[in-house]
């Protein structure tokens, strides 16, 4: 049995492998056109996948963001309660600090008198005194410094001035009392505003998603039409 | 040195063709198309049909070019694609069926002179039925083993062997006829 390629087949093989048949001119043009078609198809497919992938990433990202925010919202009320408690304490402390000052009143007088006497001893415009007064209160300082020469001549005026001062000082001391109350309001306002902001953010992001979805939709539709 | 340079050149052109550089693709086409049309013509009698198959096979060459690993010869790789495309055309479009037939018989070839022209050889091969021609081409011209042919055509190894023996017998008869005819005329 001769299953091996025989001599005749050797000749066949040799001659056939040497042969070349020139294809028609149109053959390359056809191949060229076919290649162009597939080239145009491929990026389209890729773009479609990109759209799908991009929208998926967008949705998951927005979802994660909203979930994260919801979590932080759940934790926020807890913090605000703590704040309220702390603020209450702060108010009490502020009151405790301010009350003795209101009750006595005299230590402040003394301090100011000392300051004024110091000013008397030193020259009219001594910087260290000014600094001390600046630390105490800004509006009162300048008035007092202006009145320092007057005090030297007429001591009773000092009393009148000092009588006015405690009232002012009281007003200044009362101010911190009001501040915590305002602060409480501000915090509650802040949290409510934050909530509103969250709602606004959600609405805007939803709008954005809708817009993106529409653009993707139209793009895909256009592609399909093509 | 020159061989290495040429090889590098081929690699470069292949890389460019992978990147859809039409100039590189045309270069590859121009280099191999005449040989590959000859390969397709071995299987398909009609030249125009063979050219169609060659074009579709070239499409496959370019779309699969990124998978070519530069291990074997580039021509061999392209040729394989041409052969596969020709076979699948005959099997799918022309519905060539193989009858399971395990009988093969011994045939003895008379020594033939190499006076046969390629046209004569092609004429002889064309005279074979599609099934015989496929097996004969794959075995005798391409050098595939019966096991490989059986896998390619979805037939048994025995059928591949019997198809080959039938093809050889037919070819021998044709050659004898030709010889007798030639002697008769002389």
Query: Is A41 at the interface with chain B, CB within 8 A?
Result: no
Query: Is A18 at the interface with chain B, CB within 8 A?
Result: yes
Residue predicted with more confidence, A62 or B93: A62
Query: Is B114 at the interface with chain A, CB within 8 A?
Result: yes
Give B 118-157 residues with CB within 8 A of chain A.
118, 121-122, 125, 139-141, 143
User: pLDDT confidence of B26, banded at 50, 70, 90?
Assistant: very high
* CB-CB under 8 Å, B109 with A2: yes
Residue B182 above 60 pLDDT?
yes
**Same-fold call for B2-93 versus B118-185:** no
- Look at residue A39 in the predicted model and tell me its pLDDT: 80
Mutate to test the interface with B, among A5, A13, A16, A30 (most CBs of B within 10 A): A16
Residue predicted with more confidence, B143 or A88: B143
* CB-CB under 8 Å, B62 with A35: yes
**Chain A closest CA to B8's CA: distance in Å?**
25
- Look at residue A125 in the predicted model and tell me its pLDDT: 46
Please provide the CATH number assigned to the domain covering B2-93.
1.10.1740.10
- Look at residue A66 in the predicted model and tell me its pLDDT: 93
**A67-95 pLDDT, tens per residue?**
998 888 776 555 545 455 555 455 555 55
Contact (Cβ atoms closer than 8 angstroms) between residue A76 and residue A191: yes
- Look at residue A132 in the predicted model and tell me its pLDDT: 47
Closest CB to A11: pick one of B33, B112, B161: B112
* CB-CB under 8 Å, B42 with A31: no
Full 3-state SS string of chain A: CCCCCCHHHHHHHHHHHHCCCCCCHHHHHHHHHHHHHHHHHHHHHHHHHHHHHHHHHHHHHHHHHHHHHHHHHHHHHHHHHHHHHHHHHHHHHHHHHHHHHHHHCHHHHHHHHHHHHHHHHCCCCCHHHHHHHHHHCHHHHHHHHHHHHHHHHCHHHHHHHHHHHHHHHHHHHHHHHHHHHHHHHHHHHHHHHHHHHHHHHHHHHHHHHHHHHHHHHHHHHHHHHC
Across residues B65-88, what is the average pLDDT?
Answer: 92
- Look at residue A223 in the predicted model and tell me its pLDDT: 84
* CB-CB under 8 Å, A18 with B34: no
Query: Is A1 at the interface with chain B, CB within 8 A?
Result: yes
Chain A residues close to B123, C-beta within 8 Å: none
* CB-CB under 8 Å, B22 with A28: no
| Domain limits, chain B | 2-93, 118-185
Residue B122 above 50 pLDDT?
yes
Which of A132-136, B75-79, B155-159 has the least mean pLDDT? A132-136
Query: Is A25 at the interface with chain B, CB within 8 A?
Result: no
Supply the mean pLDDT for chain B.
Answer: 86
Query: Is B175 at the interface with chain A, CB within 8 A?
Result: yes
- Look at residue B141 in the predicted model and tell me its pLDDT: 92
- % of chain A residues with pLDDT over 70: 46
Closest CB to A9: pick one of B58, B111, B140: B140
- Look at residue B111 in the predicted model and tell me its pLDDT: 58
Please provide the CATH number assigned to the domain covering B118-185.
1.10.10.10
Across residues B161-177, what is the average pLDDT?
Answer: 89
**B96-120 pLDDT, tens per residue?**
777 776 666 665 555 555 578 889 8
Query: Is A23 at the interface with chain B, CB within 8 A?
Result: yes
Residue B174 above 80 pLDDT?
yes
Across residues B148-157, what is the average pLDDT?
Answer: 93
Q: Give pLDDT < 70 ranges for chain A.
A: 1-5, 42-46, 75-184
Mutate to test the interface with B, among A6, A14, A21, A29 (most CBs of B within 10 A): A21
Which of A183-187, B132-136, B175-179 has the least mean pLDDT? A183-187
- Look at residue A187 in the predicted model and tell me its pLDDT: 74
- CA B29, CA A31: separation in Å to the nearest integer? 9
User: pLDDT confidence of B186, banded at 50, 70, 90?
Assistant: very low
């Amino acid at each position: 049995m001769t299953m091996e390629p025989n001599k005749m087949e050797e000749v066949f093989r040799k001659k056939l492998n040497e042969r070349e048949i020139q294809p028609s001119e149109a053959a390359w043009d056809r191949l060229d056109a076919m290649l162009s078609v597939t080239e145009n198809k491929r990026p389209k497919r890729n773009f479609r996948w990109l759209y799908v992938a991009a929208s998926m990433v967008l949705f998951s990202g927005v979802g994660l963001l909203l979930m994260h925010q919801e979590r932080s919202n759940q934790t926020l009320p807890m913090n605000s309660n703590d704040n309220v408690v702390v603020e209450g304490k702060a108010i009490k402390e502020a009151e405790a600090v301010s009350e003795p000052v209101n009750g006595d009143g005299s230590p402040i007088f003394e301090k100011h008198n000392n300051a004024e006497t110091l000013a008397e001893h030193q020259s009219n415009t001594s910087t260290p005194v000014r600094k001390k007064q600046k630390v105490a209160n800004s509006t009162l300082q300048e008035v007092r410094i202006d009145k320092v020469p007057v005090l030297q001549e007429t001591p009773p005026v000092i009393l009148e001035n000092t009588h006015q001062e405690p009232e002012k000082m009281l007003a200044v001391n009362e101010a911190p009392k009001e501040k915590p109350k305002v602060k409480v309001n501000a915090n509650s306002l802040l949290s409510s505003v934050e909530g509103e902001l969250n709602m606004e953010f959600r609405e805007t992001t939803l709008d954005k998603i809708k817009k993106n979805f529409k653009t993707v939709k139209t793009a895909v539709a256009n592609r399909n039409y093509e | 040195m020159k061989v290495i340079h040429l090889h590098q050149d081929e690699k470069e052109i292949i890389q460019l063709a992978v990147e859809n550089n039409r100039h590189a693709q045309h270069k590859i086409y121009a280099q191999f198309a005449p040989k590959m049309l000859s390969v397709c013509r071995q299987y398909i009698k009609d030249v125009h049909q063979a050219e169609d198959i060659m074009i579709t096979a070239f499409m496959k060459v370019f779309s699969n070019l990124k998978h070519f690993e530069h291990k074997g010869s580039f021509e061999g790789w392209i040729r394989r694609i041409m052969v596969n495309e020709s076979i699948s055309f005959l099997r799918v479009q022309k519905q060539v069926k193989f009858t399971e037939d395990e009988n093969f018989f011994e045939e003895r070839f008379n020594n033939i002179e190499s006076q046969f022209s390629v046209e004569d050889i092609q004429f002889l091969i064309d005279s074979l039925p599609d099934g015989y021609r496929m097996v004969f081409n794959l075995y005798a011209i391409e050098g595939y083993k019966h096991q490989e042919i059986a896998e390619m055509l979805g037939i048994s190894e025995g059928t591949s062997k019997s198809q080959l023996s039938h093809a050889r017998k037919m070819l021998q008869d044709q050659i004898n006829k030709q010889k007798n005819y030639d002697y008769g005329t002389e």
